[in-house]
């Protein structure tokens, strides 16, 4: 008898296909790497009615199960639903993209949420969870394009527009599109252990499982967003010289600008002051070193230009809410990912 966890992804016309296929691929790969041990995942798509569902990008899913078909199985031991995932969908609105809150999905999620172990959303699916009352009093995230709208419409939700995913048991929310993969890897880590989640990421050729509190925008995207080639070149230079003094006089001299003019230009182009930008980049570099390298915390502090270990600790905790040591313990990728033995292999 299978002891797998049943994951149901609720789909509907207009859904973003990667919001569906990203998580389903993570769970399928995690199960495959258990080599038939029997406590992985079974993934099903469900909709208001069985049949074809058309995604926003033109892909069509053949859905075999309706919500009514699944209702009888909820909570029935090993054959019940363990996790429900609500993907997102967006449509043009009044001057901005607006989330689709599908009524049939909303009604079903409100009914099943109290009877399953956890509910998760990807992208604009967070708006449906908020409408269902599942995010009340909780911290949550969604795609950056609709984060302000989520906060405006649901003031009782603490919206973190920067996070890749947010865990607020038993509710998880993920940011836009590919963040569903990061969140699903975190769900696997919670169920089967971080080692197995890392093995899953390696198999999928995912470069790095991003921690939930990492910013949605990567450094290369931030550099590409500036209209000034000179500033973009300076940002790349900063990233390559984080161990050096990076004060305003030094940076202004590289652009042959006066200090006040440089500060105005830099803030206009990046949306950040020079000091805040440098500090953020140093923290991002430190995160990667803590995750991927065996260097001591003191050595990382020096390489990233913090001046002292004490300053590093204080600044890192300010940005991440945890210490460098705690961050390394939680997110280090240096454990051998070839060992796929789960640390929590018992079924729920």
Residue 105 CA, chain-centre distance (Å), reads 23
Listing DSSP states for 250-272 in one string gives HHHHHTT--HHHHHHHHHHHHSS
pTM assigned to the model? 0.67
- What pLDDT does 163 receive? 83
Q: Cα separation of 345 and 188, whole Å?
A: 11
**57 phi and psi, to 5 degrees?**
-95, 10
Residues of the chain above pLDDT 70, percent: 85
Most confident of the following: 1-15, 135-149, 211-225, 278-292 = 135-149
3-state secondary structure 188-228: HHHHHCHHHHHHHHHHCCCCCCCCCCCCCCCHHHHHHCCCC
Do strands 51-54 and 60-63 pair parallel, antiparallel, or not at all (unpaired)? Answer: antiparallel
- What pLDDT does 340 receive? 36
- CB neighbour class for 244 (10 Å; exposed up to 12, middle 13-18, buried from 19): exposed
Do strands 171-174 and 118-122 pair parallel, antiparallel, or not at all (unpaired)? Answer: parallel
Coarse DSSP helix, strand, coil percentages of the chain, rounded to the nearest 5 percent: 45, 15, 40
Q: Do domains 5-203 and 219-331 have the same CATH topology?
A: no
Q: Cα separation of 5 and 8, whole Å?
A: 10
List, in order, residues 6 or more apart from 28 with CB less than 8 Å away: 41, 43
Do strands 5-10 and 165-168 pair parallel, antiparallel, or not at all (unpaired)? Answer: unpaired
- What pLDDT does 289 receive? 87
- The CATH code for residues 5-203 is 3.40.50.880
* Chain position carrying tokens 């009604």: 107
Residue 321 CA, chain-centre distance (Å), reads 17
Q: What is the pLDDT of residues 120-172, one digit of tens each?
A: 999 999 999 999 999 999 999 999 889 999 999 999 999 988 788 889 999 99
How far apart, in Å, do the first and last CA atoms of the chain sit? 14
- The fold of the 219-331 domain, in CATH, is Arc Repressor Mutant, subunit A (1.10.10)
- What pLDDT does 194 receive? 78
Q: Hey, what's the torsion of the CAs at 36, 37, 38, 40, to 10 degrees? A: -90
Q: If you ran DSSP here, which 8-state letter would residue 53 be given?
A: E
- Token readout for 120 is 């998760």
Domain borders along the chain are 5-203, 219-331
Q: Cα separation of 77 and 95, whole Å?
A: 47
Helix axes 17-32, 179-192, angle to 10 degrees: 30
Judged against a pLDDT cut of 90, whether residue 262 lies above it is answered with yes
CB 312 within 8 A of CB 286: yes
CB 48 within 8 A of CB 104: yes
Task: Name the band, by pLDDT with cuts 50, 70 and 90, for residue 331.
Answer: low
Q: What is the pLDDT of residues 66-124, one digit of tens each?
A: 999 888 666 444 348 999 999 999 998 878 889 999 999 999 999 999 999 999 999 99
């Amino acid at each position: 008898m299978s002891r797998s966890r049943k994951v149901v992804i609720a789909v509907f016309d207009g859904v973003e296909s990667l919001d569906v296929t990203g998580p389903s691929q993570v769970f399928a790969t995690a199960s495959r790497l258990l080599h038939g041990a029997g406590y992985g995942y079974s993934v099903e798509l469900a909709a208001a009615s069985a049949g074809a569902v058309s995604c926003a990008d033109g892909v069509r899913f053949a859905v075999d199960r309706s919500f009514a078909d699944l209702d009888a199985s909820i909570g029935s031991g090993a054959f019940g639903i363990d996790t429900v995932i609500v993907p997102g969908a967006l449509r043009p609105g009044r001057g901005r993209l607006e989330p689709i809150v599908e009524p049939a999905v909303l009604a079903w999620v409100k009914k099943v949420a109290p009877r399953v172990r956890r509910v998760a959303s990807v992208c604009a699916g967070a708006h449906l969870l908020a409408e269902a009352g599942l995010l009340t009093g909780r911290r949550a995230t969604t795609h950056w394009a609709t984060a302000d709208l989520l906060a405006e419409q649901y003031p009782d939700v603490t919206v973190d527009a920067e996070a890749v995913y947010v865990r607020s048991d038993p509710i998880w929310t993920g940011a836009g599109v590919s963040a569903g993969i990061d969140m699903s890897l975190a769900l696997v880590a919670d169920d089967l252990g971080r080692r197995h989640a890392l093995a899953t990421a390696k198999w999928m050729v995912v470069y790095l499982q991003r921690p939930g509190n990492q910013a949605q925008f990567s450094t290369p995207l931030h550099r590409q967003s500036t209209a000034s080639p000179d500033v973009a070149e300076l940002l790349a230079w900063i990233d390559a010289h984080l161990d050096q003094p990076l004060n305003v006089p030094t940076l202004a001299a590289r652009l042959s600008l006066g200090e006040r003019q440089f500060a105005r230009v830099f803030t206009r182009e990046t949306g950040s002051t020079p000091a805040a930008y440098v500090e953020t980049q140093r923290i991002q570099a430190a995160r990667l070193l803590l995750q991927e390298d065996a260097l001591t915390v003191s050595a990382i502090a020096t390489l990233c230009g913090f001046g002292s270990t004490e300053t590093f600790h204080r600044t890192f905790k300010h940005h991440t809410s945890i210490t460098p040591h705690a961050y390394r313990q939680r997110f280090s990728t240096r454990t051998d990912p070839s060992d796929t033995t789960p640390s929590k292999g018992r079924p729920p």
